């Protein structure tokens, strides 16, 4: 006799399979990999570790079989590298770890898993994954400029300026690529922490031990890394400058997260309507100045408490 699954469980399975397969099928969906741990994390917490893990294994096997049939096993492998984060965050909830500890553990574990995956890929494919990504990125930028050059009617001077801009981007990316990789990991962990906490609170507030996002804070000691990196960037030492620039970019995104928490706290205190909040959040994401402004606000929050109330509910 067939067992009929609740609609919610069927939907969860479909979402997980889609997130695992779509990026593998088409590179246009690569950004979806950031969200792969989210439904799996939700499933593990709401169904319990044993039952949730059993369901995830079945879903994983089903998605893996489909990837083999479609001939996208390599892309599926890349997607799977994001999945362990779900188990790490679910265990953090079970052990009642703080959100800071959960996030730190997630970043360290995901970094090690990605490094192991890259090493395995390099051994099997006899390639250097890091160099390969840089080469593909550089050739993509070169192709993009060539395509842009042919498709526009700009004068020679304007095209020369555009070409110079492309060349600068192609030069700076290898310099900051370590930061780009780490920022990708930080974004993955942060997105799944934030949205996972919201989903669990919506389901049942007792499922999550983590406080509302408006109360999330970084360790105050982290500000010294920003100060040291800024000071080192001014020294006439190229290698140290490169390391400092990468550190500033990584800490900048961390303080952007804190600045966004400050903004969420203020919205809660002022009872700002949800629609307006979403509009502001979207505006911040698409505007570089908004990201910088919130990163600065996150830094200021270290010395001046911009969040007077600690009783936010969302």
Cα 7–chain centre separation:
29
Whether 299 has a pLDDT exceeding 90, the answer reads yes
Q: Identify the CA nearest to 269 among candidates 303, 308, 229, 211.
A: 308
The token duo for 185 is: 């990991």
Task: Please give the share of the chain, as a percent, with pLDDT higher than 90.
Answer: 76
Residue reference for tokens 């031990």: 209
Residue 228 falls within a domain, yes or no?
A: yes
Q: Is 226 contained in some domain?
A: yes
Q: Note the pLDDT tens digit of each residue in 172-181.
A: 999 999 999 9
Q: Would residue 314 count as lying in a domain?
A: yes
Q: What is the pLDDT of residue 228?
A: 96
Q: Which pLDDT belongs to residue 312? A: 44
Q: What is the mean pLDDT of residues 215-222?
A: 94
Structurally, the chain folds into a number of domains equal to 1
Quick one: average pLDDT of 103-126? Answer: 94
| 39 lies in some domain | no
Tens of pLDDT along 200-210? 999 999 999 99
The answer to whether 257 touches 194, Cβ cutoff 8 Å, is no
DSSP alpha helix (H) spans, the chain: 7-25, 37-47, 49-70, 73-80, 84-94, 99-125, 129-151, 156-203, 223-233, 238-270, 274-286, 288-303
Distance between CA 194 and CA 106 in Å, rounded?
13
Domain hosting 290: range is: 212-314
Q: Is residue 286 part of a domain?
A: yes
Note the pTM of the prediction, 2 decimals: 0.92
The pLDDT of residue 314 is above 70: no
pLDDT above 70 for 2: no
């Amino acid at each position: 006799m067939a067992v009929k699954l609740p609609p919610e469980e069927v939907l969860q399975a479909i979402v997980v399979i889609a997130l695992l397969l779509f990026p593998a099928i088409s590179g246009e969906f690569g950004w979806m990999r950031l969200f792969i741990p989210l439904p799996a994390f939700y499933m593990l917490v709401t169904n319990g570790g044993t039952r949730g893990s059993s369901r995830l294994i079945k879903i994983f096997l089903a998605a893996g079989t489909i990837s083999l049939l479609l001939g996208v096993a390599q892309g599926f492998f890349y997607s799977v590298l994001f999945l362990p984060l779900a188990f790490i965050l679910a265990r953090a909830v079970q052990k009642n770890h703080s959100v800071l500890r959960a996030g730190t553990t997630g970043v360290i574990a995901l970094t090690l898993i990605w490094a192991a995956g890259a090493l395995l890929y390099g051994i099997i494919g006899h390639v250097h994954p890091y160099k390969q990504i840089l080469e593909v990125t550089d050739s993509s930028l070169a192709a993009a400029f060539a395509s842009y050059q042919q498709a526009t009617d700009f004068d020679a001077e304007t095209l020369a300026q555009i070409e110079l801009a492309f060349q600068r981007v192609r030069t700076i990316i290898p310099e900051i690529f370590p930061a780009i990789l780490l920022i990708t990991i930080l974004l993955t962990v942060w997105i799944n922490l934030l949205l996972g906490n919201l989903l669990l609170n919506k389901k049942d507030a007792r499922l999550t031990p983590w406080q509302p996002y408006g109360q999330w804070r970084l360790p105050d000691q982290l500000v010294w890394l920003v100060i040291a990196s800024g000071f080192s960037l001014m020294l006439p030492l190229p290698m140290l400058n490169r390391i400092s620039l990468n550190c500033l970019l990584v800490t900048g995104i961390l303080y952007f997260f804190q600045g966004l928490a400050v903004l969420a706290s203020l919205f809660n205190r002022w009872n700002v309507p949800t629609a307006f909040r979403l509009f502001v959040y979207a505006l911040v994401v698409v505007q570089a100045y908004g990201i910088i402004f919130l990163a600065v606000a996150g830094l200021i929050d270290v010395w001046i408490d911009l969040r007077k109330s600690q009783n936010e509910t969302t």
